[in-house]
Amino acid sequence: MKEFAYFPGCSLEKMASSYHMSAMETTQKLGVKLNELDDWNCCGATTYFYIDELLAYTLCARNLAIAEKTGLDVVAPCSACYKNMFFTAAHLKKDEDLAEHVNFALEEDNLHFSGNVKVKHLIEVFAQDIGPDELKSKVTKPLEGIRIAPYYGCQIIRPQKEKEDVEQPQFFEELISAIGATPINYPLKMRCCGGSLIISSRTAALTMVRNLLQSAVDNQAAVIATACPMCQVNLEVYQQQVNLEFGTNFSVPVMYFTQLIGMALGIPNKKLGIGKEFVAMAPTPLAVETAWGLPRKTK
C-alpha cells in the first residue's frame, strides 16, 4: 500500500468538503493511504506573498517540517497549496540562507525542515503513483458517453518545474479516458479562471469564468472536471453571477476529478459529497447517457 502525508488545506475543511471526502474514498479504494498532517496551518494561498515573502515561506515550511517528520511525501489537493509547498521546498533546498532564517522561526514550534520532502499534487498521485492503467482495471461503472472537460487551471502546471510540457499536458485526459468517459479538447483548458481575482477584481474574474465556460460548452462538455477547490468554486458557484452579468444561460456541472473517479469505482454518491453542488450533477452514471448526451449549448 502506498502511503502519503496529506495536507488538506483550508478550503477542504468546509468549502470543498466534497473534494476531501471523495479524495479519501477513492484513494482508499485504490490502495493509497493519505495520513492527514498533524496540526497543519494554512498555506496562505497566494496572499502571504503579497505581504511578506519570508512569512509565506515560513508558514509553508511549518507544514513541510511536520510532513518531514512522518518520512512520507506530502500530497496537497489544492493547486495553490501545492504550488506554494512545492516551491517553498525547492527554494529552501537551494538557498541555505533562507533555510536558516526559516528554521530559526520554526524552532519556536520545535520543528526543523531539512529539505527532504517531495511535494505532490493529489492528481499526480492518480496520474503517476496509481496510473491510468491501474485505475482502469478498478473501474466497475465506466462513465461511458460522458464528455468531460478536463480543467487544468494554473498552479498544478505552472510555474514549470523541470522541462515538462506546460502548454498541452495530457495526464488529466488520460485519467478521464481511464474511467471510460470522453475527454474533450477545448482551447482554454490551461487558461486561468481568475480564481484569485474574484474578490479584488470582480469583472475581470467573471469575464474569465465566462470565457472558460463558453469554451467548454462550445466543445460540448457535459461536465467540467477540476483538481482544485478554488477553480471549482469559481467555475461553479459564480455561474449564476456570470449569467446575471452577461445574460448567459450556463448550467454546467463542475466536479472534482475524484468525484468522477469515485463514481466510476462504484462508490455511492453520498460518500463522494455529491449533492452539495449548485449545478446538480446527474445522480447516477447510468442516467448520464440520456441526460448528458446532448451538448448544453448556451446562446
Partner 1 sequence: MTDTITFGQEISNLLHAAEGEPLKTCIQCGTCSGTCPVAGYMDNSPRQIIALINLGKKEQVLESNTFWYCASCYHCTVRCPQEINITELMYALKRYSIWKNRYKEGLIGPTFSEAFVKMIVRGGRSFEPVLATSYIFSFNTREFVQEIQGATELLLKGRLPLLPARIKRLENFRRMIGRIIPMGGLE
Partner 2 sequence: MDKKDEKEKIGVYVCHCGTNIAGVINVEEVSTWAAENLKDQGVVISREYKFMCSSLGQELIQKDIKELGLTRVVVAACSPHLHEKTFRNACKGAGLNPYLCELVSIREQDSWVHTDKVAATEKAKAIISGGVSRVVYHEALEPLHVPIHPATLVVGGGIAGIQAALEIADAGFPVYLVEREPSIGGHMAQFDKTFPTLDCSACILTPKMVDAGNHPNITLLTYSEVEKVDGYVGSFVATIRKRARSLREADCTGCGICWEKCPKKVVDDVFEAGMGNRKAIYVPFPQAVPKYPVIDRVNCTYYIKGTCKACEKFCPTNCIDFAQQDEILTVEVGNVILATGWDLFDTRRITQYGYGRLPNVFTSLEFERMSNSAGPTGGNVVLRDGKTEPKVVGIVHCVGSRDKNYNEYCSSICCMQSLKFAHLVKEKTGAEVYNFYIDIRTPAKGYEEFYHRLLEEGTHFIRGKVAEISDATRLPSEEGKLVIQVEDTLTGNQLRVPVDMAILSAGLEPRHDSKALAKLFGISCSADGWLIERHPKLDPIATMTDGIYIAGCVQGPKDIPASVAQGAAAAARVMGKIQQKEIALEPVRATIHEEQCSGCRICNNLCPFNAILFHEDRMVSEVNPALCQGCGTCVAGCPAGAITGTGFSNEQILSQINGLLLLNVPKKQAVAA
Rule CB under 8 A: which residues touch partner 1? 10-11, 13-17, 39-42, 44-55, 58-59, 62, 91, 94-95, 98, 101, 104-110, 154-155, 158-160, 166-167, 190-192, 194-197, 199-205, 208, 237-238, 240-241, 244, 276-278
Question: Across-strand partners of 254?
Answer: 224
Instruction: Read off φ and ψ for residue 53, nearest 5 degrees.
Output: -65, -45
Shortest CB 30 distance to partner 1, Å: 26
Shortest CB 10 distance to partner 2, Å: 33
Q: Is the dihedral of CA 120, 121, 126, 128 positive or negative?
A: negative
Q: How far apart are CA 242 and CA 240, in angstroms?
A: 5
- The item of partner 1, partner 2, none sharing an interface with residue 3, based on CB under 5 to 8 Å by kind, is none
- 249 near 243, Cβ under 8 Å? yes
Eight-state DSSP code of residue 155: T
Amino acid at 162: E
Shortest CB 111 distance to partner 1, Å: 8
**SS3 breakdown of the chain: % helix, strand, coil, rounded to 5?**
50, 10, 40
Which of 133/247 has CB closer to partner 2? 247
- The item of partner 2, partner 1, none sharing an interface with residue 105, based on CB under 5 to 8 Å by kind, is partner 1
For the record, the C-alpha cell of 113 comes out as 525542515
Which of 116/160 has CB closer to partner 2? 160
Piece of 21-29, 127-135, 186-194, 289-297 that binds partner 2 (CB under 8 A): 186-194
188 near partner 2 (CB under 8 A): yes
Subset of residues 213 to 242 that bind partner 2, contact rule: CB under 8 A = 214-215
For the record, the C-alpha cell of 111 comes out as 520543528
Shortest CB 106 distance to partner 1, Å: 6
Q: How far apart are CA 172 and CA 161, in angstroms?
A: 18
Residue matched to cell numbers 452539495 = 276
Q: How far apart are CA 265 and CA 22, in angstroms?
A: 11
Options 167, 199, 297, 299; binder of partner 2; rule CB under 8 A: 167
Applying CB under 8 A, which residues contact partner 2? 165, 167-168, 186-188, 211, 214-215
